[in-house]
Structures are given as C-alpha cells and as structure tokens.
Amino acid sequence: MKAIPTIKLRNGDLIPALGQGTWNMGESPAQAAAEVRALQAGIELGMTLIDTAEMYADGGAEKVVGKAIAGRRDGLYLVSKVLPHNASRRGTIAACEASLKRLGTDHLDLYLLHWRGAHPLSATVEAMQALAAQGKIRGWGVSNLDTDDIDELLEEENGDKCLSNQVLYNLSRRGIEYDLLPQSLERGVPVMAYSPIEQGRILNNAALAAVAQRHGATPAQIALAWVLRRPGVIAIPKASDEAHVALNRACLDFALTDADLKELDAAFPPPRRKQPLAML
C-alpha cells in the first residue's frame, strides 16, 4: 500500500493529504457505532486528519468523532469549523469551547471559519489568534472563501496566519483551477477539498468508469486519485463503514496517465474563465 503523502503547513505541521470527512455523520443514533468504527479504521490506515464542524448534525458529528478518538488523540490532526453567525470575536471563542467539549479534547489542530457571514473578518481573526494564544487551537484557516475574500483576509492584521482554505473541488467542480487554486499554492495556503467525489453524483460518468476499469479501480478511487494528483491539495472523503474507508485509502495505489487525464478533461472540461466559487 502506497504511503499517504504529507503536506507541510506554514506553521510547520505535516498533515496527510488524504483524510476523513464527517459531513452527514451523527444524524442517526443507529448508525453512530458504525461511524465510530469507520473513523477508527481510517486512523489505523494512516488517515489521521479528521474534519468535522459544529454545523454537522448540530454537533452530532463532533460527538461521533469524540467517541472515535477517545484514548487515541495523540498523532491525530483534528479540524472543526465555526458557523458564520457565531464568528464574532466572543462567539468564535464560545463556539470553539463547545466543539472541544463535544469532541472530548483540549485543543483543535485547525479551526476554520465555515463560510463568510456578517461578522467582519477582523473580528474572527482576532478570536482565532486569542484561541491560539490560549492553546485551544494550534492554527486556523477558512472555508468557502474565494480569491477576493482571501485577498481581503491577507490584508487583515495576522491574516497571513491562515493555514488552509477548505473548498468544494472535484472532477465536476473545477472552477478553482482558474484562479483560486494557483493563488492558494503561490501563497502557501493549501486547499482542502470537500466532497471530492461530488457526494457520488459523478460516479456513473462513462469516461470515469472507463478509466477505472483500465486500472482495476472503482470510479470513486479514480475520482479521489484525480484530486490528490495535485500538490498542495488535501482530500477529505467521508466513509461510514470500514470497507468504504479501505477503498478510499487504496486510491493512492493508482497513478493516472496522461491519457487518463486527457480523457477525464474531455468529460469534465477545465475552466476557461473565472467562475463563482461553488458550494454545497
């Protein structure tokens, strides 16, 4: 099994490029035990980056993560997010403390603004810096911010402490390739790709299926391998059972050829002009 590549953040942290997402986890008590086992299986396979958010199942996903990481917090890279309406200076700190309680840990490795809302970026950055000074987070970043937002953020005092931007990116959502992705890499802000297989909606595409068949892979594995082929990009697919986790982990065993990439470009054309930032 090929090793998971790592990405170095500007604060020196090394994180795996393939992690685990938790969107839609924590919504069903009947599924919670399986979700915990899935996350633990991913940890055993080296997918030690776990992404969650206070929004997911109104904190339910964070509780699932808390059960999964109990007794095994060391060596994990834990990410959560604050909702925009909570992202005032005081609100961000309170939201973080509530997330820490649900997660059963004393610190987050990365805390993100989930998307931009009414509160000024300056207030959110101040709160993030205060949380870092208190040791409640190791670093902070953003999510769903486009190029203009990033430009504005970097003009704020301590805005250059932003470690990552989590955005929608997959074969069918390539708009960031035109401007946001190159801007991010140039500025040392890695992109974390959520919904890297478009929640399964792209998996019946004929070209994707043909490439997968040539490699003896599943379409989802090829879609993940495509996202991860780019330097400075992290993928956080969600899997709710152990078999699915193992399939995600094995996506790194497939190397896409130039012919594969050309075929996928024909089916999923790259952007030729600026596009509004896509969100789910």
pLDDT tens string 125-161:
999 999 999 999 999 999 999 999 999 999 999 999 9
Write down the pLDDT at residue 275.
Answer: 94
CATH number at residue 51: 3.20.20.100
Write down the pLDDT at residue 1.
Answer: 84
- The pTM score is 0.96
Q: Find the Cα–Cα–Cα–Cα dihedral 38, 50, 87, 169, rounded to 10°.
A: -90
Does some domain include residue 199?
yes
Cα-based distances in Å from 209 to 72, 76, 205, 221, 226:
38, 34, 6, 10, 13
On the 0-12 / 13-18 / 19+ scale of CB atoms within 10 A, 152 is middle
Distance CA 194, CA 56 (A): 14
Range of the domain at 113: 6-267
Does some domain include residue 242?
yes
Distance CA 37, CA 67 (A): 10
Does some domain include residue 278?
no
- Total domains present in the chain: 1
Q: What residues of the chain score a pLDDT lower than 70?
A: none
Q: Three-state SS across 157-198?
A: CCHHHEEEEEEECECCECHHHCCHHHHHHHCCCCEEEECCCH
Q: Are 141 and 171 in contact (CB under 8 A)?
A: no
Cα-based distances in Å from 107 to 134, 164, 275:
10, 18, 36
Does some domain include residue 56?
yes
Does some domain include residue 280?
no
Does some domain include residue 102?
yes
Distance CA 139, CA 262 (A): 38
Distance CA 80, CA 50 (A): 9
Does some domain include residue 272?
no
- Point out which residues pair with 169 in neighbouring strands: none
On the 0-12 / 13-18 / 19+ scale of CB atoms within 10 A, 79 is buried
